[in-house]
Every structure is written in C-alpha cells, then in structure tokens.
Structure 1
Amino acid sequence: MSELTLVAFDIETTGFTVDDEVTVAGFALPLGVRIFVQTNGRDIEGVSEVVQDRTECHVQLSTHASERALLEAVGKFSSDRLAGDDVLLAAFNGETWRSGFDLPFLRTRLTRTDVAWPFDELPYTDLLPLLTKRFNTTVGEDECRDLVGVYDTLCGGSAGELDSFAESSEAVSAFEAGEFTPLVLHNAADVLRTRELGLLAERYCSKSDFKLKSLTSTRYG
C-alpha cells in the first residue's frame, strides 16, 4: 500500500436507470482535484473560478458538451495520468463484492456510448467495507454506512463544508436546472471526503485489510 498513491473517484448522474447519464466525474489526487463536467451544451462560465475560491486545493475543471465527450476525456486522463503510475483508485461504494454504484453504472454508460473502458492497468479498492468493518461507525443506535456519515464520524474535516446538498439526489435536480456550481462543489466534496478517509485507513489499518482488485479488462492489450 505504501508504494501506491491513493486517488479517489466519484461520479454524479441524472438518475439510477440504464438510460440515465454521467454528468460529473471527479478525481482527488495528492496535488488537487480533477473534475469533468457534462454541460449538455449549456454555458457554465465562471463556475471554475467560484469552485477554486471555495476549495483549499487546486481544482482543474473541464467542460464537455455530451456524456460521450466526458467519458472519452476521462479515459484520456486515466491513460495519461493514472495508468502505470503506481496509483490505487479508491471509491466509497463504487464497487463492492455484492453491490456498489459508480463502476457498474459507468460500465453500462460506456457500453451505451461505445467508449473504451478507462481504468486498464489500475488497481482498485472500495473503502465502504474497510471503514465500516475496521472502525466503529455507530452513532447512537445507528451504524453510519454512507460517505457523509462515515466522514463526519471519523474525519470531520473541511471537505464537508464545500457541500450544499443534504442528499446526493440533489445532484440530479441541480444538473437539470443548470446549477453547475453547487453540483461541481458537491462532487469535489465527495472525492475529497473519499481521499481523506482512504488516507485515514492507511494510517490505522494493515495492508491486508485493503481488498484490492485489478480493473484491467480481460481483453486489454
């Protein structure tokens, strides 16, 4: 684990069905945050400046007119910046043994848009089972199993201050209304939360506690 650089990943979507689309894809790296936004042809001038002013790290934001363009840009970023660079891609409930959201959703949308799988040569770990099994996340009578709850319980850092959404579902209505600033801030908050939790786990958990899997596709190369 100590040889791998943890990069957190998270997406926002228009919903949960096979016909819904990816609207935002974000990555938190050691030197900052990289976010890809689908605009559906709309103008989001000024969003990048507002987001940068609100965050304590460097934010690089790019806009894409369609979901396909966003997915292609994510693939190029991954091959240029992540693959073969001793990176560990991490998500919170991105893909666990029996469930997960981000990676299954992404696979379907890549299939629908005929875009190549972006994460070849990358190892992956999901932080949800690690954090809820190796830390006590019970508050009162309830066990926290969502990203916000686990982050607030274990870290309570500044990443949560970026997020103006009470529920992740608000990202759907924000995209529909063209409210891109809170949408991007929500994604930035989530990837920063995820990375902080991953670094916390590295401090207090053994290497064997991290369950790694290869994301390289069977027919890659």
Structure 2
Amino acid sequence: MLELVAFDIETTGFDVGDEVTVIGFAVPMGVRVFAQTGGRDVGDVAGEVGAATDTAVQVSTHRCEREVLTAVAGFAADRFRDEDVLLAAYNGERFRGGFDLPFLRTRYATHDVAWPFTDVAYADVLPLVANRFNTTVDGDESSDLEAAYDLLCDGAHGALDPFADSAEAVAAFTEARLTDLVLHNVADVLRTRALARVAQRYCSKSDFGVKSLTPVVSD
C-alpha cells in the first residue's frame, strides 16, 4: 500500500501575484512544516508550536517564499523520491478545480525552481468525501474540510486550530502571527489525513482517481 502523506498550503491571497506562506505535510511520524517569515523577526515559532500540541511537529522558518519552495523541493527529493508515497490534499487539484497544486505550479514557475513532486502519486480527498459519503446536514451539503472532518472523524484536531475561518490565515501572516498560522496548517493537514484514511477504509481504489504529478520534462 502507498504511504499516505497529506499536505496543505497557506497563501497571502488567491491572485497570481500572491505568495505561499506555509506548506505542511502530515507524514507517518508527525508533521513537517515550512513557513516564510517575510523577512521579519517572528520569535521561536518551532518552540511555541511544539508547546501547543502533542503531535510531533518539525517547523523550519525561511525569510522568503523562494527559500520555502527550495526547502520543500529538497524535502521532497529526500522524503518522496524512490518511496511509495500517495500525496493527498483537500481540494488540492481535481477535475476542473482545485487550489493548492495550481497555485504551487505558478509560484515554482515564477521563481524558476524545479517542480518538487516528481515520481509522486496524488489523490484529492474532496471528491471522495463529496461523492462517496453523505455529509448533508439539515438539507445542506457540508463537504468543506472542517465540516467534513467533524462529521466523519472524531473532530479532535479542530482544537489545534486557532482560526474560526480559514480566511484568517491571510491576516495572520500580515500581522506576523506565524505560530497561529502554522498551527492552523497543522490542523488542516491532520484533518486531511484523517479523512483520507476514512476513505481508504470505506472506498475502493478506483474511487481515489490517483494521478501522477511527474511533469513531462523533469529538470
């Protein structure tokens, strides 16, 4: 079976010129997070995050987006290359939609940094939840990440999240509240992994729609 690794990104917004602020990966032994500081003094983020959760979280801070993207490329080369990994995201990239992977492609291309996810399989968890589970509450479908996690899992990871709404991630970076931003990212990658594991238990392999993220031409 492929080793499940969930990931999620935080950004300064949704436009083509916006930047990645945090990239997190839920790996079997914990969570690995890469965060940019915007060149500011943000204090002991790793220590503050470690004190706020029992989950093993390794945080590295980087002065700018390019340094984050380069660090993630190095992590992926060491951690994913030659390994049987299934990378999973929630609305990361799906048929005619998705956010995380298209955003990352633009930012990697902007900085002319090699694409990190070579020889990596990918599946999106959102279509699995929306199409293979009933998440309707009071007549309304609740398939966003937080609601789906609370409905189909135990809801425990929600206690890590300092934000009432994901939109707060933009303000947190602007205000240099990097610890809160990282904790939000950790909560989201753990939620994504939990939902993916539920799908593994109750859905067929064909439901996952696994695709390769390897580009046509690799650097």
User: TM-score with structure 1 length normalisation?
Assistant: 0.97
CA drift at 1:46: 2.2
* 2: CA distance, partners of 1:118 / 1:55: 28
The one-letter amino acid of 1:191's match is: V
Q: Which moved more, 1:27-36 or 1:139-148?
A: 139-148
Alignment of 1:20-31 (within 5 A): 20-31=18-29
* 2: CA distance, partners of 1:187 / 1:138: 26
Which of 86, 90, 93 is matched with 2:91 structurally? 93
Partner of 2:49: 51
* 2: CA distance, partners of 1:70 / 1:60: 14
Partner of 1:212: 210
Flag as ranges the 4+ runs of structure 1 deviating above 4 A. Answer: none
CA drift at 1:53: 2.1
Alignment of 1:3-152 (within 5 A): 3-152=1-150
CA drift at 1:168: 1.1
* 1: CA distance, partners of 2:22 / 2:55: 19
* 1: CA distance, partners of 2:75 / 2:45: 21
How many corresponding residue pairs? 219
* 2: CA distance, partners of 1:41 / 1:129: 37
Give structure 2 stretches of 5+ with no counterpart.
Answer: none
The one-letter amino acid of 1:170's match is: E
Give structure 1 stretches of 5+ with no counterpart.
Answer: none
* 2: CA distance, partners of 1:196 / 1:56: 16
CA drift at 1:155: 0.6
The one-letter amino acid of 1:163's match is: D
Q: Equivalent residue of 2:31, what SS?
A: strand
Q: Equivalent residue of 1:69, what SS?
A: helix
CA drift at 1:45: 2.2
**1:36-92, Cα deviation, whole Å (9 max, x unpaired):** 000011122222122112222211000111100000000000010012210100000
**1:5-35, Cα deviation, whole Å (9 max, x unpaired):** 1000100000000000000000001100000
Alignment of 1:170-181 (within 5 A): 170-181=168-179
Partner of 2:157: 159
The one-letter amino acid of 1:56's match is: D
The one-letter amino acid of 2:120's match is: L
CA drift at 1:209: 1.3
Partner of 2:194: 196
Q: Which moved more, 1:37-46 or 1:142-151?
A: 37-46
CA contact (8 A) 1:84 1:122 kept: no
* 2: CA distance, partners of 1:34 / 1:166: 23
Aligned-pair Cα RMSD in Å: 1.0
The one-letter amino acid of 1:151's match is: Y
The one-letter amino acid of 1:22's match is: V
Structure 2 residue 167 is the aligned partner of structure 1 residue 169: yes
